[in-house]
């Protein structure tokens, strides 16, 4: 059998040199190899047929969604892989209002899910910055994003998954039942597995009623340290923010230049952009007042973003950070997470590494859940110096993350970029258990080999 027999529509199959460049590049990983083919199935049956074909031909498979991954997980690294790009499987199939469940195909972009459910009065809380990522990719990386501090990550909204396994068999994991004490939780094993165990072909997502009111507030601090302690004070006061994003002045300046917008506060060295949502307007104003009271002697400025336009402007600046950085310099963004009481210490440490290694370091992140995006900038460094400094910096940084009880990735995944650090930072017994699980499900190491483990 030929691949052309499995995918007969020529517009949905690219072979060898015809593979578009987009599959050979990545935001973060540079050493992308040539692939054997890229297939864009329309149906689950085509995914099954492609997996069976790959088994017959001895090919490795990489599942791909929006290609926005930043850990090198969706890119070919060996050469000769078959990429199964599920972006054409992009139908929203059903909103079941009785169980508050949305059924979708894996290639539906996140922004379509969000706007579809909101148009019906519902809410899908996970909110990664990359709105063009797909739900299949979000599940494979257990994507987090801005609202994780109150609502959790993608994992918390997956009720059930249809998955094609490495032998071509299909299985449904999870169910519409709210509770389960019925054996191993295989659905959760597949969430965050970065395409190493199966290809998601259908998803049932939990949705919530859309909160009626929300309000954002911008808090300006005179230092990064006082911003991080302010975050802890907000969390301890029981304000339950929907989002609590931290960024330095030097970080937001890239967004300001890129968008030609100005953040509503130009004072201070660090900011926290906070949103509160509720079904009662009074609750929001009470919580804003609480924040104003507890931080009165701690902030340089508090700016309530009263209109939707002001709110949108501040969030647009926050969302543009990464894209803005791309215009000005090459960089590497990290995704470390530490227990929330060590967040300030972690960020302080990145600044000592800036001095030690002579690398420009900036930080932003989902402060409410201890997830720092430390970014190291290449700027004028030549390639050899950049690589040497980068490696020394990462070695020091991940050692500190481990000391603080943290993990190498909070939401972007391990891919190839963080693989050596996962290995160093994990308990060997736990790592071996993961390898045994991978081997049990994918004995021929066909799905995304060389990634994660």
Ligand X SMILES: Cc1cc2nc3c(=O)[nH]c(=O)nc-3n(C[C@H](O)[C@H](O)[C@H](O)COP(=O)(O)OP(=O)(O)OC[C@H]3O[C@@H](n4cnc5c(N)ncnc54)[C@H](O)[C@@H]3O)c2cc1C
What are the residues binding ligand X (CB under 6 A)? 27, 62-70, 73-74, 86, 106, 128-130, 133-134, 136-138, 140-141, 143-145, 194-195, 199-200, 322-323, 411-412, 448
Report, in Å, the least distance between residue 35 CB and ligand X.
Answer: 13
Closest CA to 142 of 410, 431, 445: 410
**Torsion of the alpha carbons at 8, 9, 11 and 13, rounded to the nearest 10:** -20
Helix axes 224-236, 343-357, angle to 10 degrees: 170
Distance CA 106, CA 244 (A): 29
Of 133 and 215, the one with the shorter C-beta distance to ligand X is 133
Dihedral angle at the C-alpha atoms of 187, 193, 194, 199, nearest 10 degrees? -40
Nearer to ligand X, 112 or 301 (CB): 112
Give 73 or 90: the residue with its C-beta nearer to ligand X.
Answer: 73
By beta-carbon proximity to ligand X, the closer residue of 62 and 288 is 62
Instruction: Name the minimum Å distance from CB 25 to ligand X.
Output: 12
**In the block, which residue shows the tokens 């002579």?**
358
Q: Minimum Å distance from CB 126 to ligand X?
A: 8
Q: Select 145 or 449, whichever has its Cβ closest to ligand X.
A: 145
| Cβ 318 vs Cβ 255: under 8 Å | yes
The answer to whether residues 35 and 78 touch, using CB atoms and an 8 Å cutoff, is no
- Closest residue to bound ligand X by CB: 137
The minimum distance between CB 161 and ligand X, in angstroms, equals: 9
Question: Cα(21)–Cα(148) distance, rounded to whole angstroms?
Answer: 33
Could you tell me the smallest distance in angstroms from the CB atom of residue 447 to ligand X?
8
- How many angstroms separate the CA atoms of 60 and 80, rounded? 8
**Least distance CB 258 / ligand X (angstroms):** 12
Looking at 222-292, which runs of residues are DSSP E strands?
Answer: 243-248, 270-278
- Helices 224-236 & 281-295 angle (0-180, nearest 10): 130
Cβ proximity to ligand X: between 38 and 361 the closer is: 38
CB of 151 to ligand X, least distance (A): 13
Torsion sign, CA atoms 158, 401, 428, 424: positive
- Cβ proximity to ligand X, 136 vs 230, nearer residue: 136
| Residue among 256, 140, 284, 122 nearest 201 (CA) | 140
Residues 6+ apart with CB under 8 A from 104: 91, 92, 93, 113, 135, 202, 203, 205
Residue 387, strand partner residues: none
Min dist. Cβ of residue 184 to ligand X (A): 19
DSSP three-state, residue 338? coil
Least distance between ligand X and beta carbon 129 (Å): 3
Minimum CB separation of residue 373 from ligand X in Å reads 8
200 vs 215, which CB is nearer to ligand X?
Answer: 200
Q: Kind and range of the H or E element at 360?
A: strand 360-366
Give min distance, CB of 402 to ligand X, in A: 21
Between 136 and 174, CB nearer to ligand X: 136
DSSP-assigned beta bridge partners for residue 127:
145
- Residue 74 vs 90, nearer CB to ligand X: 74
State in angstroms the smallest separation of the CB of 169 from ligand X: 15
CA distance 346 to 338: 8
State how far the Cα of 283 lies from the Cα of 331, in Å rounded to an integer: 41
Q: At what angle do helices 321-328 and 249-259 cross, to 10 degrees?
A: 80
Q: For residues 101 and 409, which CB has a smaller minimum distance to ligand X in the complex?
A: 409
Residue 41 in contact with residue 12, Cβ under 8 Å?
yes
Is the CB of 291 or the CB of 364 nearer to ligand X?
Answer: 364
């Amino acid at each position: 059998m030929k691949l052309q027999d499995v995918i007969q529509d020529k517009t949905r199959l690219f072979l060898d040199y015809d593979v578009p460049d987009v599959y050979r590049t990545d935001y973060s990983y540079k050493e992308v190899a040539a692939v054997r083919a890229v297939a864009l199935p329309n149906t689950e049956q085509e995914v099954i047929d492609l997996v069976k074909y790959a088994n017959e031909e001895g090919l490795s498979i990489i599942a791909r969604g929006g290609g926005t991954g930043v850990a090198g997980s969706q890119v070919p690294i060996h050469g000769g892989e078959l990429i199964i790009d599920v972006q054409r499987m992009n139908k929203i199939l059903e909103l079941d209002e009785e169980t508050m469940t949305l059924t979708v195909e894996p290639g539906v972009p996140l922004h379509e899910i969000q706007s579809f459910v909101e148009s019906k009065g519902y809410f899908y809380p996970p909110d990664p910055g990359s709105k063009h990522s797909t739900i299949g990719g979000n599940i494979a990386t257990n994507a987090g994003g801005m609202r994780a501090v109150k609502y959790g990550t993608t994992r918390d909204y997956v009720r059930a998954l249809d998955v094609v396994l490495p032998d071509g068999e299909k299985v449904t994991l999870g169910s519409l039942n709210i509770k389960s004490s019925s054996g191993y939780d295989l659905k959760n094993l597949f969430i965050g597995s970065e395409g190493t165990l199966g290809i998601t072909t259908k998803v049932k997502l939990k949705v919530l009623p859309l909160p009626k009111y929300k309000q954002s507030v911008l808090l300006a601090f005179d230092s990064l340290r006082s911003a991080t302690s302010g975050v802890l004070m907000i969390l301890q006061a029981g304000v339950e923010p929907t989002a609590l994003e931290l960024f330095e002045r030097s970080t937001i300046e890239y967004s300001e230049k890129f968008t030609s917008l100005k953040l509503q506060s130009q004072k201070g060295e660090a900011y926290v952009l906070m949103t509160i949502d509720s079904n009662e307007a009074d609750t929001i104003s009470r919580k804003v007042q609480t924040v104003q009271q507890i931080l009165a002697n701690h902030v340089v400025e508090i700016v309530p973003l009263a209109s939707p336009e002001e709110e949108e402007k501040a969030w647009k600046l926050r969302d543009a950070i990464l894209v803005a950085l791309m215009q000005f310099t090459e960089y590497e963004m990290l995704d470390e997470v530490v227990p929330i009481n060590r967040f300030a210490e972690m960020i302080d440490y990145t600044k000592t590494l800036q001095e030690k290694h002579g690398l420009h370091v900036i930080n932003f992140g989902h402060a409410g859940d201890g997830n720092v995006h430390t970014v190291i900038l290449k700027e004028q460094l030549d390639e050899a110096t950049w690589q040497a400094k980068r490696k020394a910096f990462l070695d020091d940084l991940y050692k500190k993350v481990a000391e603080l009880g943290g993990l190498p990735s909070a939401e972007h995944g391990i891919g190839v970029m963080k693989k050596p650090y996962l290995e160093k930072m994990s308990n060997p017994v736990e790592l071996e258990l993961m390898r045994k699980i991978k081997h049990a499900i994918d004995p021929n190491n066909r799905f995304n080999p060389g990634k994660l483990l």
